[in-house]
Amino acid sequence: MLPWWLLAIAVFGANFALWGTIGLLRLLEGTAQRWRDRQGAAVVGRDRFDDTDRLSVDDVAVLMPAHNEEAVIVDSIAAITALVPVENVHVVSDGSTDRTVELARACGVRVISTARNVGKAGAIQEAIRRFELVERYPVVMLLDADTHVQPGYFDAALRLFDDPDVVAVAGCVKTTWRGRGLGPVGKLVAFHRQRIYTMTQYLLKFGQTWRRVNATHIVPGFASMYRTEVLPRIEVNPPGLVIEDFNMTFEVYQKRLGKVGFTPAAVAATQDPGTFTDYVKQCKRWALGLWQTVRLHPPRCNLFTAMLALLLLEMLTSSTLLVMLPVVVLVLLLPELLPGLVHAPLFGDVHAFVSGFATPSALVFGVLVPDLALTCVVALVHRQPRYLLVGLLFLPMRVLDAAIALYAIPGAWLTKSSGRWRSPGRHVADHASP
């Protein structure tokens, strides 16, 4: 019989405990550092670097790949040009057939178009070359066309580049849902995504990007920054991949180009899919992209490979358990409604087998209660009680995510992707809202 606490570890994973603890150590070190600074002690760690050469927004080229983004491109350009000089903003239209190019040019930013739809990675690669970003800027920001960089992003993110070992900085994502005309399903998707973002960024990425143990599996492409000096050594667009951000992160670590920085203070708001269909398609794309990248990069003897192996192993086990969860619940609870089923030849054997490993109380305390506890924490962190109203629906969403994650694995070895993309349905939104 599985004890409830072991079930909780299997479903929710040891990664959160491991990297959450490391993140706590990072937080304590940062707190001690600030105290020493106030006391006038010698500056150590990340703050030991000279402020005189600190990068500013003038040093950042913003590169925005866009494919049929006329609904949001003007709003997003207005948000970024409020923070960086307009001449620093570069838009590459990847085979757009709408007014994306026309609207971007009207905003006064630099705009080019690809001859055909080559995919996001191909468009980024072509834009870096044609705009000569490596030669003209020390840092490039890759920014999705639906993303609004929040005030304070650059002050927090550029500070991480004070460490010469940091070659990439991951933004802290939040989802926006107000003003988008979302229905109940769209809002559920947005809340589910924000819950995932909160857990992964605070309990995984914050610890994974501590300078003392630095290994994270992704620098998300929605709002990320790279030193341009490392871009020529990164294969931005290898053939056969559906997305680029996993691969670029793997390249940083496997080629030993440097470290990845992350701070929760560098926030950017993005639009997650507003319909169930778009959500499933995006999840499939992300899951396939991860496994394609794993296939492309053979393991090496380093911390990154060890971290990735633990992450993938845990994802496989937890996803398998979550996918089996509805069946297990059904097998355990049906006899409560129909007692005679226990004596049925086939069902009785299945029930005996399942009940030998799990009980309803173990599922409640090992799966449901921890999941609801996470929802309560997220609601508290974001000061959004509405998360509690849909708290019981997050677990079924996790089951769906797990099924998609497992479904994508064979495709990474059996199919090749062109990288061509189609943006989800977009709506102008108030990105300042939580």
pLDDT one-digit tens code per residue, 88-108: 999 999 999 999 999 999 999
pLDDT of residue 78: 96
- The number of beta carbons lying within 10 Å of the beta carbon of residue 181 is 10
Clarify whether residues 279 and 202 are in a common domain.
Answer: yes
Alpha helix positions (H), 109-256: 120-130, 133-136, 153-160, 184-200, 206-208, 245-254
Clarify whether residues 180 and 265 are in a common domain.
Answer: yes
Domain span at residue 182 reads: 52-302
| Domain harbouring 80, CATH code | 3.90.550.10
Q: Is the alpha carbon torsion for 103, 104, 105, 107 positive or negative? A: positive
Q: How far apart are CA 45 and CA 36, in angstroms?
A: 11
- Please count the structural domains in the chain: 2
Residue 1 lies inside a defined structural domain of this protein: no
Clarify whether residues 344 and 273 are in a common domain.
Answer: no
Q: How far apart are CA 198 and CA 240, in angstroms?
A: 31
Clarify whether residues 148 and 220 are in a common domain.
Answer: yes
Tell me the pTM.
0.89
Last residue of a domain, one of 302, 334, 358: 302
Last residue of a domain, one of 278, 302, 326: 302
Q: What average pLDDT does the segment 71-85 reach?
A: 95
Q: How far apart are CA 40 and CA 210, in angstroms?
A: 24
Clarify whether residues 292 and 315 are in a common domain.
Answer: no
Q: Where does the pLDDT of residue 428 fall: very low under 50, low under 70, confident under 90, or very high at 90 and above?
A: low
Q: How far apart are CA 408 and CA 391, in angstroms?
A: 27
Residue 124 lies inside a defined structural domain of this protein: yes
Bridge partners (DSSP) of residue 140 are 61, 226
Q: What average pLDDT does the segment 111-131 reach?
A: 94
pLDDT of residue 414: 87
Clarify whether residues 92 and 208 are in a common domain.
Answer: yes
Clarify whether residues 325 and 353 are in a common domain.
Answer: yes
Residue 94 lies inside a defined structural domain of this protein: yes
Last residue of a domain, one of 302, 329, 358: 302
Q: Percent of the chain beyond pLDDT 90?
A: 73
Q: How far apart are CA 181 and CA 275, in angstroms?
A: 11
Clarify whether residues 210 and 334 are in a common domain.
Answer: no
Q: How far apart are CA 83 and CA 429, in angstroms?
A: 19
Give the CA dihedral 42, 47, 51, 56, nearest 10 degrees: -170
Clarify whether residues 256 and 344 are in a common domain.
Answer: no
| Helix (H) / strand (E) containing 261 | strand 259-270
Range in 7-21, 206-220, 246-260, 420-434 with the lowest mean pLDDT:
420-434
Dump pLDDT digits (tens) for 52-67: 578 999 999 999 999 9
Residue 47 lies inside a defined structural domain of this protein: no
Residue 14 lies inside a defined structural domain of this protein: no
